[in-house]
Amino acid sequence: MSLGVPGQFDRLLSEIRGARAQLPAEHRNLLAQIGTQEGVIEDWPSGVQDLFRSVQEVPPSDAALVNAAAVWLDGLRTVVFNGPLMQAATTGLTDASRKQLVAYIAWHEYGHALSLTRSTHEQRRSGVRLLGLLSDGMRASIDYPGGYGRLQVFDEIIATVYALLISRIRKDGYGVPEFLHLEIVKAFKEVIPWPPSQ
Amino acid sequence: MAPEPMREPHTAAFPAAKIAPFLRAVVDPEGKGDLTPEQAAAIQQVEANVARSDQRR
């Protein structure tokens, strides 16, 4: 899916798709089964709101979108990135740093897509409790209390842990770091196949 | 035929203000300073960029 001015955000979209291609095959297959797509939107937030309308969903308000770097559109099974904001956020980085940081954000969003489509309501109810079991730094990266509701916290935890574990594959393989609380690991493995079978 | 009622959106947004904290959580999840100078500089740059971008919005 290519959204916005053709060419303007091609590099960003290519980096996002490159990050997807680095995921374990089992996870890539799951994303494909879900029908997950990704896009970069130039005219944010109106372009996102138009996409919601295209699937007969009430679009979020400008206020709900204006400070977002990315949004998952459930009706389209699509994660869309805020092109202008992502471009501004990565200005001045070396190509290598930019590519790496974009990959981390993309992995978070793909983990989020997997969690949103595979976690149960009961699991989501445990999110706030599990949040208290994260390290301070990981907890600080999740906007609760704040932008997320209680039932959204679980998927944010899974997405954050997902990005963390994917980022460590090259160095640590499919091991799980000891600092992750056992309950977090258990919840993660209930939603995401880990270690992946392929 | 009446149009189908609009469904409520399931909005799951990644806030720009959490980009830098998230990047730190990935590269230094225990907060022990386990990040390279290059990683630290890159995340600081992103944080400053997002703050500037916030001011413009």
Does B32 contact chain A (CB < 8 Å)? Answer: no
CB–CB of A90/B49 below 8 Å?
yes
pLDDT of B7 over the 80 cut: no
Nearest to A113 by CA among A32, A44, A9, A17: A32
Contact A108 B45 (CB under 8 A): no
pLDDT of A190 over the 60 cut: yes
Contact A71 B27 (CB under 8 A): no
**Residue A82: closest CA among chain B residues belongs to which residue?**
B16
Q: What is the SS3 assignment for B12?
A: strand
Residue A74's pLDDT band (cuts 50, 70, 90): confident
Residue A140's pLDDT band (cuts 50, 70, 90): very high
pLDDT of A118 over the 90 cut: yes
> What residues in B contact A110, CB-CB < 8 Å?
none
| C-alpha to C-alpha distance for B57 and B51, rounded to whole angstroms | 10
Provide the token pair at A96. 């290598």
Does B14 contact chain A (CB < 8 Å)? Answer: yes
Q: pTM for the whole thing?
A: 0.93
Contact B19 A177 (CB under 8 A): no
pLDDT of A183 over the 80 cut: yes
Does A34 contact chain B (CB < 8 Å)? Answer: no
Predicted confidence at residue B6, as pLDDT, reads: 44
pLDDT of B5 over the 50 cut: no
> What residues in B contact A124, CB-CB < 8 Å?
none
DSSP A9-65: THHHHHHHHHHHHTS-HHHHHHHHHHT-EEEEESSTTHHHHHHHHHTTBPPPPHHHH
Which residue from B14, B23, B29 is facing A70, i.e. has the nearest CB? B14
Provide the token pair at A176. 């799980």
pLDDT of A67 over the 70 cut: yes
Which residue has better confidence, B8 or A129? Answer: A129
| C-alpha to C-alpha distance for A13 and A1, rounded to whole angstroms | 9
| C-alpha to C-alpha distance for A69 and A85, rounded to whole angstroms | 6
Neighbours of A126 (CB within 10 A): 16
As a whole number, mean pLDDT of residues A18-26 equals 98
Give the A:B interface size as CB pairs under 8 Å.
139
Does A58 contact chain B (CB < 8 Å)? Answer: yes
Predicted confidence at residue B1, as pLDDT, reads: 45
**Mean pLDDT, rounded, of chain A:** 93
Which ipTM was obtained for this model? 0.94
